[in-house]
Amino acid sequence: MAAVNGFNGQFGIPWREREDNVSVLSYLQRVGRALMVPVATLPAAAILMGIGYWIDPNGWGSESALAELLIKSGAAIIENMGVLFAVGIAYGTSKDKDGAAALTGFVGFLVLTTLCSPPAVSMIQHIPLAEVPAAFSKIQNQFIGILVGIIQLNSTTVTAMSNCPKHSRFLAGVGWYRS
């Protein structure tokens, strides 16, 4: 496959060989391992919600404060799975397993969901808010979280392989304290 501007077209992996010989299979294995991190939180959500519904099966938390606390705690995990996927994949695919990658995934999720929110789309496209497609109202979902995590992985891979000046190495997930 011919290189186009230094890229081979497969997931944004630079054309020249990396030190650890990244192949498509190892790339997908890396993403798959990172997907297990946020998925591991689902049993906790199920247990919390299940105990809450067991305590108050008829009122669904309206008749018991403890049941409501447990149900809302489990629902908080379920409702924020998109953020958990973005942070989990960004952290799980980072080489150093440091918090900078997780923060990058979180910030990326916030930026993307803010820019794709109906008011932002309305402002950018210069259209009334009522004419914004309904798909933009449900932008904070798991797919977007996975997408942000994979984008963070690719941007970190490309930036880490380039020769960045020392003051911009944070883009590669390299701290200023490292040389």
Residue 77 CB contacts under 8 Å (≥ 6 apart), including other chains: 41, 42, 44, 45, 48, 84
95 and 169 housed in the same domain = yes
Looking at the fold, whether 95 and 170 belong to one and the same domain comes out as yes
Whether 93 and 162 share a structural domain:
yes
| Final residue belonging to a domain, choices 37, 61, 79 | 79
- List % helix, strand, coil for the chain (3-state, nearest 5): 65, 0, 35
Instruction: Give the domain range for residue 59.
Output: 24-79
Assess whether 111 and 30 both reside in one domain.
no
Q: What is the distance between the terminal CA atoms of the chain, rounded to a whole angstrom?
A: 34
Q: Do both 68 and 127 map to the same domain?
A: no
* 13 lies in some domain: no
Give dist(CA 90, CA 67) in Å, integer.
34
**What is the residue-averaged pLDDT of the chain?**
79
Does the pLDDT at position 114 exceed 50? yes
Q: Which of 45-59, 127-141, 145-159 has the lowest mean pLDDT?
A: 145-159
Residue 74 and residue 85 in one domain: no
Whether 92 and 141 share a structural domain: yes
pLDDT attached to residue 119:
93
- Asked if 28 and 86 sit in the same domain, the reply is no
Q: In terms of domains, do 117 and 140 share one?
A: yes
Write down the pLDDT at residue 64: 84
Q: Quick one: pLDDT band at residue 1, thresholds 50, 70, 90?
A: very low
Q: How far apart are CA 107 and CA 85, in angstroms?
A: 13
Q: Are residues 74 and 107 in the same domain?
A: no
pLDDT for 122: 93
Number of domains present in the structure of the chain: 2
pTM: 0.70
Q: pLDDT tens-digit profile of 2-22?
A: 555 445 555 555 544 455 556
Q: How confident is the model at residue 173 (pLDDT cuts 50, 70, 90)?
A: low
On whether residue 5 sits in a domain, the answer given is: no
147 with 103, same domain? yes
CB neighbours (10 Å) of residue 37? 19
Q: Within a domain: residue 14?
A: no
Least confident of 65-79, 113-127, 131-145, 147-161: 147-161
Same domain, 153 and 119: yes
Average of pLDDT values for 143-160?
78
At 49 the pLDDT is 92
Distances in whole angstroms, Cα of residue 93 to Cα of each of 4, 34, 80:
25, 6, 20
